[in-house]
């Protein structure tokens, strides 16, 4: 049974001030389902949690849908309670925290420490907000499978779906400037061929220091390993709205060190030129 109809009801209600949740299914695949739009007042982030026995929303871990209205974003997350620090850990290999993709501090959003399983960008003009019931079903099933793995003591989840592309990390940046929604890398993210094109166009050397993983670690092992930095004009304070990613101008290959340095300061991403000017001659590869 797909969960989509419950989810759509939830998203519809999230557009209103109605806080009642009595009408929702109480159970899904053996897990108890908790829905919340807030207690006395409308919460900033309404959620649907799938909670196993002995786990609690206030103390535990659980798969959870979180709705970030401002971003038109629904996140299916490896949820972690915030009231109490849970004893169990998800044990993910390459976790991506929600606070890494959303400026939770700025909007004092909750659940920043929970891990992203998948994000769904919602389109209010499309049927079911553009959500695909099959995908929702598959995603929910696999995160619940992970959940059972963790609960049964097999703590390390071997195949975290988030890490399919460990080799070439994609930038994920979402921000809000004024009232405009800014999502700079959706198209890149939805379009893996953009990555390929970027690498073909820019080459696989770090644009800042010239490091070449293939050269350094051998073609057999190191080849094709490079990160992709997404230049997002938002950081330069421009007014920017959602737009297509141009792999020639927006995506730049950088090594892991330089990439970290570009993002070292939380609210300011350095420009490629700036970081290159800071880099000592000694560390420049030819
Ligand atoms: Zn570099
Ligand atoms: Zn970057």
In the chain, the domains with their CATH numbers are 4-161 (3.30.920.90), 167-283 (no CATH)
pLDDT score, position 192: 62
- Cα 239 to ligand 2 centre (Å): 19
Tell me how many helices (H) and strands (E) the chain has: 9, 10
Ligand nearest to the CA of 231: 2
Lookup: tokens for 62 = 């659980």
- Ordered per-residue pLDDT tens for the chain, 286 residues: 689 999 999 999 999 999 999 999 999 999 999 999 998 888 889 999 999 998 999 999 999 999 988 888 899 999 999 988 898 888 776 677 888 777 777 777 788 889 988 888 898 889 999 999 999 999 999 899 889 988 887 555 443 333 333 333 344 434 333 333 333 333 343 356 677 888 889 999 999 999 999 999 998 899 888 888 877 644 333 333 334 466 777 788 999 999 889 888 866 788 899 999 999 999 998 7
Q: Cα 150 vs. chain centroid, distance in angstroms? A: 21
Give kind and range of the element (H or E) at residue 72. Answer: none
Closest CA to 231 of 161, 283, 184: 184
Burial group, residue 249, by CB count within 10 angstroms (0-12, 13-18, 19+): exposed
What are the backbone dihedrals phi and psi of residue 7, each rounded to the nearest 5 degrees, phi first? -65, -40
- Cα 224 to ligand 1 centre (Å): 15
- Cα 171 to ligand 2 centre (Å): 6
As for the ipTM of the complex, it is 0.89
- Cα 103 to ligand 1 centre (Å): 26
Lookup: tokens for 171 = 């930038």
- Cα 147 to ligand 2 centre (Å): 31
Ligand nearest to the CA of 208: 1
Strand order in the sheet with 61-68: 27-28, 31-36, 47-51, 61-68, 73-80, 115-121
Ligand nearest to the CA of 188: 2
- Cα 281 to ligand 1 centre (Å): 12
Partnered with residue 253 across adjacent β-strands are 228
- Cα 135 to ligand 2 centre (Å): 28
Q: Which parts of the chain fold into alpha helices (H)?
A: 4-14, 98-101, 133-151, 186-190, 192-202, 213-217, 219-222, 256-262, 272-278
Instruction: Spell out the residues 6+ positions from residue 282 whose beta carbon is closer than 8 angstroms to its own.
Output: none
- Cα 177 to ligand 2 centre (Å): 19
- Cα 265 to ligand 2 centre (Å): 12
Ligand nearest to the CA of 209: 1
- Cα 253 to ligand 1 centre (Å): 9
Ligand nearest to the CA of 256: 1
pLDDT score, position 97: 82
Ligand nearest to the CA of 270: 2
In this structure, are residues 122 and 129 in contact, taking their beta carbons and an 8 Å threshold?
yes
pLDDT score, position 195: 76
The single-letter DSSP state of residue 41 is: S
- Cα 274 to ligand 2 centre (Å): 14
Instruction: Spell out the residues 6+ positions from residue 156 whose beta carbon is closer than 8 angstroms to its own.
Output: 91, 93
pLDDT score, position 232: 60
- Cα 217 to ligand 2 centre (Å): 23
């Amino acid at each position: 049974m797909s969960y989509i109809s419950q989810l759509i009801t939830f998203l519809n209600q999230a557009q209103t001030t109605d806080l009642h949740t009595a009408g929702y299914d109480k159970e899904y695949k053996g897990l108890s389902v908790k829905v919340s739009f807030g207690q006395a007042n409308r919460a900033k982030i309404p959620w649907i949690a799938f909670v196993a026995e002995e786990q609690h929303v206030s103390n535990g871990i659980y798969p959870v849908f979180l709705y970030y209205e401002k971003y038109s974003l629904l996140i299916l997350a490896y949820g972690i309670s915030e009231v109490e620090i849970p004893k169990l850990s998800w044990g993910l290999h390459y976790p991506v925290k929600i606070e890494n993709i959303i400026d939770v501090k700025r909007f004092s959003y909750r659940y920043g420490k929970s891990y992203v399983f998948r994000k769904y960008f919602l389109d209010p003009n499309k049927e079911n907000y553009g959500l695909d019931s099959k995908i929702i079903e598959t995603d929910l099933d696999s995160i619940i499978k992970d959940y059972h793995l963790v609960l049964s003591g097999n703590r390390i989840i071997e195949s975290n779906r988030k890490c399919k592309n460990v080799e070439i990390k994609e930038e994920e940046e979402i921000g809000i400037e004024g009232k405009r929604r800014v999502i700079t890398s959706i198209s890149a993210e939805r379009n893996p061929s953009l990555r390929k094109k970027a690498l073909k166009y820019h080459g696989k050397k770090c644009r800042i220091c010239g490091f070449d993983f293939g050269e350094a670690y051998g073609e057999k092992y190191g080849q094709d390993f490079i990160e992709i930095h997404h230049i997002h004009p938002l950081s330069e304070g421009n007014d920017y709205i959602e737009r297509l990613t141009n792999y020639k101008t927006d995506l730049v290959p950088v090594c892991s060190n330089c990439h970290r340095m570009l993002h070292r300061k939380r609210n300011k991403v350095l420009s490629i030129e700036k970081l290159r000017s800071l880099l000592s001659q000694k560390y420049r590869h030819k």
